[in-house]
Structures are given as C-alpha cells and as structure tokens.
C-alpha cells in the first residue's frame, strides 16, 4: 500500500520534511503538478517506512511525498488526490474542514490573537463598531459573536502590519508565534493583545475516505511520528 502525503510549501516545507526524515520517512519531495496534470500528486520517492528506532519494516508500507501550497492541502485530501497531509490548526478551523485530525505535530505553534490600538474602544463608542482587520474572518466573527460583541470585519489577504496605522482598522486578529515560555508576546506591532482567539500548530490530517480505506496504514504513520515526538519530549 502506498500513502500519498502532501506537505505545505513555504516556511513550513523544511520543518515538515525534517520531521518525516527524522521519523525514518526520508525522501526527496518535489512540487506536485510539475510536468503533470493539474491536481496530480507527483511522487517524490517510494520509501520503505519503518517506525523510528526499531528497524523493522512497517507492513511493506510505501510513502510518497509531494509539496503543495499550504492553502491547497485540504482540497487534495477532500478530493482524494492525497491520503494525508500537514496543515495548520487555525487554517482547519477557519475553513471548517471535514478532515480527520490524526496528530498534533508540535511545531509551527502560535496563537491567533485579538489586538487593538490604544484608545480603540473609546473611538468605537463614539463612532460605532470596532473595525477588525484579519485573514481569518470566520474565526474572528465567531469569537466576537460568542462574546455578544458586534464588530465590522475587514478581510485582508496581505500583511496586517499597517492595517491600524494606515487607518484601515482599529484592531487586528492575527497570528503570532508562541514564545519559548509558551506565552504570546505582550503586543503586536505596537498594539495591545486583548484576547486569544485560537491556539494553533501543525497537524497531521487525512481525508475521511482515506481514514476509512487506509486506517491501518495511517496508524503506522501516526505511530512512527508519535514515537519520534515522544523521544523529543513533545508527547
């Protein structure tokens, strides 16, 4: 049996591939679709998968890795073009995907925080609703609705660094990296963090069909990665 696994490109590519390599799933990953029809998962290499450290074959399981855009991972899994993949928890929550979350891989950790400029609440009382710029409109809407607060959401595709200083918004809901102590930074680009909308890290996920059809093989994959994380003290 061959498992097709998609790995996100960009900043997550190197740590993702390092994790698979350290767990004994090493190989050269190439961009999906390079010279192949759109949507095709291009195999990087067929790999004999062995749980980290025990040296025994894992039920003759092969793994094929492909690198895709991070935003495309859910589509690959939902369509069956890949069996498993890596995705950030905040992205899974934002899209409300119906994927099966298999394992928290404990890297790419961060928080989706709500931060405002000093005096923003006072201005909102005078002028109306707070304007919140974000790349996570669904999570932002849910966060404020749960607190009985009405805000005007300003969806932004690019950087949020200047959203407040340029007058686009009174505050932001944005991702910040978790510090070594496990807490978020006190401020975001001169803003004051008022709350945490969601915690995030990279998760191993699978499509529902793959979870049913290839549950045993996915179990082998999860066991190998979990053993590695336990060895790193991340269990």
Neighbours of 225 (CB within 10 A): 23
Taking a C-beta distance cutoff of 8 angstroms, is the pair 93, 59 a contact? no
32 plus 64 within the same structural domain: yes
Query: The domain containing residue 30 runs over which residues?
Result: 2-108+202-231
Q: H or E element: which one contains 13?
A: helix 13-22
Nearest of 67, 63, 75 to residue 6 by alpha carbon? 67
30 plus 85 within the same structural domain: yes
23 plus 46 within the same structural domain: yes
Q: How many domains does the chain have?
A: 2
Taking a C-beta distance cutoff of 8 angstroms, is the pair 41, 49 a contact? no
207 plus 103 within the same structural domain: yes
Residue pLDDT tens, the chain, 235 long = 678 999 999 999 999 988 988 887 754 455 555 444 333 333 333 333 343 344 443 445 678 889 999 999 999 999 999 999 999 999 999 998 889 999 999 999 999 999 988 776 655 555 568 899 999 999 999 999 998 888 999 999 888 888 888 889 989 999 998 765 555 454 576 888 889 999 999 999 999 999 999 999 999 899 989 999 998 874 4
Q: What beta strand segments (E) does the chain contain?
A: 2-8, 30-31, 47-48, 62-68, 84-88, 100-104, 110-116, 130-134, 151-155, 171-177, 187-188, 191-200, 202-206
102 plus 9 within the same structural domain: yes
Taking a C-beta distance cutoff of 8 angstroms, is the pair 111, 191 a contact? no
100 plus 211 within the same structural domain: yes
104 plus 206 within the same structural domain: yes
| DSSP track, 97-114 | --PEEEEE---S-EEEEE
């Amino acid at each position: 049996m061959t498992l097709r696994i998609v790995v996100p490109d960009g900043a997550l590519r190197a740590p993702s591939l390092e994790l698979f390599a350290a767990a004994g799933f090493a190989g050269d990953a190439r961009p999906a679709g390079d010279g192949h029809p759109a949507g095709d998962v291009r195999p990087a290499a067929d790999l004999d998968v062995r749980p980290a450290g025990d040296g025994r074959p894992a039920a003759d399981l092969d793994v094929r890795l492909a690198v895709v855009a991070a935003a495309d991972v859910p589509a690959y899994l939902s369509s069956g073009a890949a069996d498993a993949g890596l995705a950030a928890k905040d992205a899974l929550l934002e899209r409300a995907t119906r994927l099966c979350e298999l394992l928290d891989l404990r890297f790419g950790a961060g928080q989706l925080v709500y931060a405002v400029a000093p005096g923003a609440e006072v201005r909102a009382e005078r002028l109306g609703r707070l304007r919140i710029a974000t790349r996570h409109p669904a999570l932002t809407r849910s966060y404020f609705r749960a607190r009985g607060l009405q805000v005007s959401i300003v969806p932004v595709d690019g950087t949020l660094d200047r959203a407040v200083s340029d007058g686009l918004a009174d505050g932001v809901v944005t991702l910040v990296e978790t510090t070594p102590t496990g807490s978020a930074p006190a401020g975001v680009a001169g803003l004051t963090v008022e709350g945490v909308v969601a915690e995030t890290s990279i998760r191993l996920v699978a499509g529902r069909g793959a979870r049913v059809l290839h549950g045993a093989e996915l179990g082998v994959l999860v066991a190998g990665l979990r053993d590695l994380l336990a060895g790193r003290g991340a269990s």
